[in-house]
A and B are shown apart, each in its own frame.
Chain A
Amino acid sequence: MGKIEWAMWANEQALASGLILLAGGIVGVAGQFRGWQFAAYSIAAGVFVCMLEYPRSKRSKGTSVGRTGQYCFTVCVKAFGPVTRNYYVRAFLHAAICVPGGFLLATVLGCVCLGIASLIYLVAAIRGEHWEPILPVKEARKPVAESMKAPPQNPPPRPPPEMRRKRVDDLESAAYDNPIPVTANE
């Protein structure tokens, strides 16, 4: 398992945890559970985690495929600079966020899942991984090869006008198509 980027799996796990926290929170609030305040917190925490984890990081090796529509999230997450870039911060953040979820049965699963995601992020951070935004690449125009010379200054030599004019009786052998129909010279 030498080459794995743990952050990829941590990201999937954290996104799933966010959704589970959100679902558990909704059940807790809708069912008016005792301790529904924890459920309300879980809804907010779930939404926050989902938004943070939705943009996938660029892989250090290989092609990175972003999730559908992740560009605006990428921009938001990128705006926080080193805070979101560093996986130690994410690991501790997730560990802290998940704790209140443990106080209500409906959200305890989300709490444990987020805790596991936090552990995987810790492993990723220890191995030196960090979050890189996937940004659309602007195609760099190839520099013009040196053999290209400046365009010619003079028009190419042409035969005299009498020969250039397209002849009515010889349309097939004409060198070009005339947009205006050719009529005989009177």
Chain B
Amino acid sequence: MGNWIVNNGLSAFILVAWMGINIFIFVWFYLSYDLGDQFFYTRHLLSSGLPWARAPAAVLNFNCMLILLPVCRNLLSLIRGSFMCCSKTLRKQLDKNLTFHKLVGYMIALMTAVHTIAHLLNVEWLNNSRQGAYDELSTILSQLEDTNSTSYLNPDPQQIPTRFAFSSIAGLTGVIITLALILIITSSMEVIRRNYFEVFWYTHHLFIIFFAGLVFHGAGRIVRSQQRTNPLHNVSYCKDRSDDWGTLPECPIPQFAGGFPQTWMWVIGPMFLYLCERCLRFIRYMQKVTYRKIVMRPSKLEWHPFTMTSAPEEDFFSVHIRSAGDWTNKLIDIMQQLPEGAQGPNVCFPRMGVDGPFGTASEDVFDYEVSMLVGAGIGVTPFASILKSIWYKFKDSDPKLRTRKIYFYWLCRETHAFEWFADLLQVLEKEMEERGMGDFLTYKLYLTGWDQSHTTHVMVHFDKETDVITGLKQKTHYGRPIWDKEFEQVRKENPTSAVGTFLCGPEALAKVLEKKCAKFSDVDPRRTKFYFNKENF
């Protein structure tokens, strides 16, 4: 339990705070519309449909304000950078930005549903009131028109509900933005997002329509409240004497006015921030700078994030890209058309825009005394850059480097994926041996997709000093790592340290590692503690 609090306490607190604010807003606005005197006559027409529509509207305002913030990558990098002095836990929260974005998205979807259903009922009741289907007070209230001496309460001009909805600003914008929201949600489902990223990416830009419609949604001011008149209209006395309004001294004709639209006040700030964010990305696209994590786009419309495999200390930057879809395959085609070893001013290289840098979880590796780096397949790329960087820092005895031991686990399904990374490990292995720093890096490679032919090959070459697959001194393991044993070993070798565990890989593995971190951490601050950090794109 103590471990859970240490690892997840701040996230849980933020979630509870966010949910608490949502509940507070809902209840506050619900009661305000349910009990407020100025809505007495409105409630007579709409009964509880009014508060049930307005309370989710307020929650929607709050969440639409929040939803753009977790995806302002540059802003988050800025915050992350300025928190360098502060605790790692704070910075870890910024890594969960996408989870928060999705959570806020779900809340928006839920509140939209409640808001829409309440307003559907309201429109029906307004229409019925207009047609005199209810009591006398309702009919009289509905008949108030916008003239010199009166103002309307019932916005429905006696049309069928569908026509009323589509002819009012609120109705039209409401339908359009709900449609946009539904399209955004269906294309964001996991199966679409993972396998057809472009559909998700382009459809998600419907958020522009969503926000545009949202800002104008309340412009019609059709939710009306009663205004002060001189002399005052005594509601409790006059509600039963609707025939005598205008003739009795206590009952002048009640005046109504719509509420001032407020949504724009909530969302204008984040919309502006996001606009700045996109402008910044576009400006960077026009420049050429070096970064740690970059976003590349060969076409003007597509952006894809990649992690760099070169270290900041080097004077070039490299990325390793796995072919996994349209864009990556197109890139490989373009690259393959270039002549081999092409250099010089006469060769026409493809133009690439890069944007960044975007700080990620892996930047914190340098702050831990002991680090466990786990990379699955292509997920090893952030660690390639980090291993190189740590090695440069170590060689130059950089005082800011707190790391004194690294455990590196590389899980891979096929052998051919080892080739490009094996070179790096071979170089590191050789240099470490030359300097007698063999202890610094312990690496273990796991081939998870082995079969009979592998084992036969290995059995034949058992006695060789270097591994048959990678050519490294460290032999390749077969199958998945037994994490209990690994964590136990790390704990035994580092009994008093804070160990940072970094993963770049599949979600299932993240869950396993998170559990192990919790299991093997000691609440006692003098003993070993494991901190889990997950990298994702």
Name A's B-contacting residues (CB within 8 A): 1-5, 8-9, 12-13, 16, 20, 23-24, 27-28, 31, 33-34, 56, 59, 62, 65, 103-106, 108-109, 112-113, 116
Q: How far is the CB of A86 from chain B (nearest CB, A)?
A: 22
How distant is B508 from chain A, measured CB to nearest CB, in Å?
13
C-alpha spacing A2/B183, complex, angstroms: 20
Residue of B nearest to A56 (CB): B191
Chain A residue with Cβ nearest B175: A109
Task: Say if the beta carbon of B325 comes within 8 Å of chain A.
Answer: yes
- Label chain B's interface by main secondary structure: helix
Determine if A31 and B196 form an interchain contact, defined as CB atoms under 8 angstroms apart. no
Contact status B326-A1, CB under 8 Å: yes
**Cross-chain contact A8 with B182 (CB below 8 angstroms):** no
Could you show 22 A-B contacts with beta carbons less than 8 Å apart?
Answer: A1-B198, A1-B326, A4-B199, A8-B191, A8-B196, A9-B187, A9-B199, A13-B183, A16-B185, A23-B117, A28-B120, A34-B160, A104-B162, A105-B120, A105-B123, A105-B161, A108-B165, A108-B175, A109-B178, A109-B182, A112-B179, A113-B179
- Separation of A185 and B365 alpha carbons in the complex (Å): 70
Across-interface contacts of B127 in A (CB, < 8 A): 34
Task: Give A59 Cβ to nearest chain B Cβ, in Å.
Answer: 8
Write the chain B residue with the least CB distance to A110.
Answer: B182
CB distance from B161 to the nearest CB of A (A): 4
| Closest residue of B by beta carbon distance from A59 | B195
Closest to B192 in A: A9
Task: Note all chain A residues with C-beta closer than 8 A to B128.
Answer: 34
A contact residues around B182 at 8 Å (CB): 13, 16, 20, 109, 113
B186 touches A4 (CB 8 A): no
C-alpha spacing A23/B112, complex, angstroms: 13
B194 nearest CB across to chain A (Å): 10
Report B-chain residues with C-beta under 8 Å of the C-beta of A4: 195-196, 198-199
Inter-chain CA distance A173–B198, complex, in Å, is 69
Give the tally of cross-chain contacts (CB within 8 A): 78
Q: CB distance B195 to A12 under 8 Å?
A: no
**Complex CA distance for A16 and B198, rounded to whole angstroms:** 20
B186 engages A33 (CB within 8 Å):
no
**Are A33's CB and B124's CB within 8 A?**
yes
In the complex, the answer to whether A5 meets B120 with C-beta atoms within 8 Å is: no
User: In the bound complex, do residue B325 and residue A31 qualify as a contact, i.e. CB atoms below 8 Å apart?
Assistant: no
Contact A2 B189 (CB under 8 A): no
B176-219, CB < 8 A from A:
178-179, 182-183, 185-187, 189, 191-192, 195-196, 198-199
- Taken together as a complex, chains A and B put the C-alpha atoms of A65 and B196 apart, in Å, by 15
Contact, CB under 8 Å: B189 / A12: yes
Please tell me if the beta carbons of A31 and B113 are within 8 angstroms of each other in the complex.
no
Q: Are B198 and A12 in contact (CB under 8 A)?
A: no
Q: Which residues of B contact A1 (CB under 8 A)?
A: 196, 198-199, 326
* Residues in chain A near residue B183, CB distance under 8 A: 13, 116
The residue among B116, B183, B186, B187 with the most chain A CB atoms within 10 A of its own CB is: B186
Report the minimal beta-carbon distance from B102 to chain A, rounded to whole angstroms.
16
Chief secondary structure at chain A's binding surface: helix
Bound Cα distance A105, B121 (Å): 10
Whole-angstrom CA separation of A56 from B196 in the bound complex: 16
Most buried by A among B187, B196, B325: B196
Complex Cα gap A169–B349 (Å): 84
Per the bound structure, the CA–CA distance linking A51 and B160 in Å amounts to 32
Are the CB atoms of B175 and A27 closer together than 8 Å? no
- A16 and B179 within 8 A (CB): no
B526 CB, min distance to chain A CBs, angstroms: 45
Cα-based distance from A34 to B127 in the complex (angstroms)? 10
How many angstroms between the C-alpha atoms of A110 and B191 in the bound complex?
22
| B117 near A8: Cβ-Cβ < 8 Å | no
- B187 near A31 with CB under 8 A, answer no
Cβ of A105 and Cβ of B113 under 8 Å apart?
Answer: no
Instruction: Write the nearest CB–CB distance from B61 to chain A, whole angstroms.
Output: 21
B120 and A27 within 8 A (CB): yes
Contacts of A65 in B (CB 8 A): 191
A146 to chain B, nearest CB (A): 14
A28 and B146 CA atoms in complex are apart in Å by: 31
Give chain A residues whose Cβ lies under 8 Å from the Cβ of B185.
Answer: 16
Given contacts A2-B326, A23-B113, contact A8 B195 (CB under 8 A): yes
Query: How far does the Cβ of B142 sit from chain A's closest Cβ, in whole Å?
Result: 16
Q: How far is the CA of A108 from the CA of B199 in the complex (A)?
A: 25
Query: Contact: B162 with A27, CB < 8 Å?
Result: no
Write out the residue numbers on chain B whose beta carbons fall within 8 Å of the beta carbon of A103: 162
The answer to whether B120 and A12 touch across the interface, beta carbons within 8 angstroms, is no
Verify B124–A31 contact, CB threshold 8 A: yes
A13/B186 in contact, CB under 8 A: yes
Within the assembled complex, what's the spacing in Å between the Cα atoms of A103 and B162? Answer: 8
Given A1-B326, A13-B186, A27-B120: A105 touches B165 (CB 8 Å cut-off): yes
Q: How far is the CA of A5 from the CA of B198 in the complex (A)?
A: 12
Assembled-state Cα–Cα distance A33/B123 (Å): 10
**Is A34 touching B124 in the complex (CB atoms < 8 A)?**
yes
Bound form: Cα–Cα A22–B248 in Å: 50
Report B434-457 CB contacts with A as 1/0, cut-off 8 Å: 000000000000000000000000
User: Complex: how many Å from CA A144 to CA B196?
Assistant: 41
Contacts of A108 on B, CB cut-off 8 Å? 162, 165, 175
Nearest-CB residue, chain B, relative to A62: B195
Residues of chain B with a CB closer than 8 A to A3's CB: 196, 325-326
A28 — which chain B residues lie within 8 A by C-beta? 120
Bound together, the chains give a CA A20 to CA B127 distance in angstroms of 23
In angstroms, Cα B199 to Cα A28, docked, is 33
Min Cβ gap A37→B in Å is 15
Alpha-carbon distance between A109 and B179 when the two chains are bound, in angstroms: 7
- Does B186 contact A12, Cβ atoms closer than 8 Å? yes
**Complex Cα spacing A86 to B4, Å:** 51
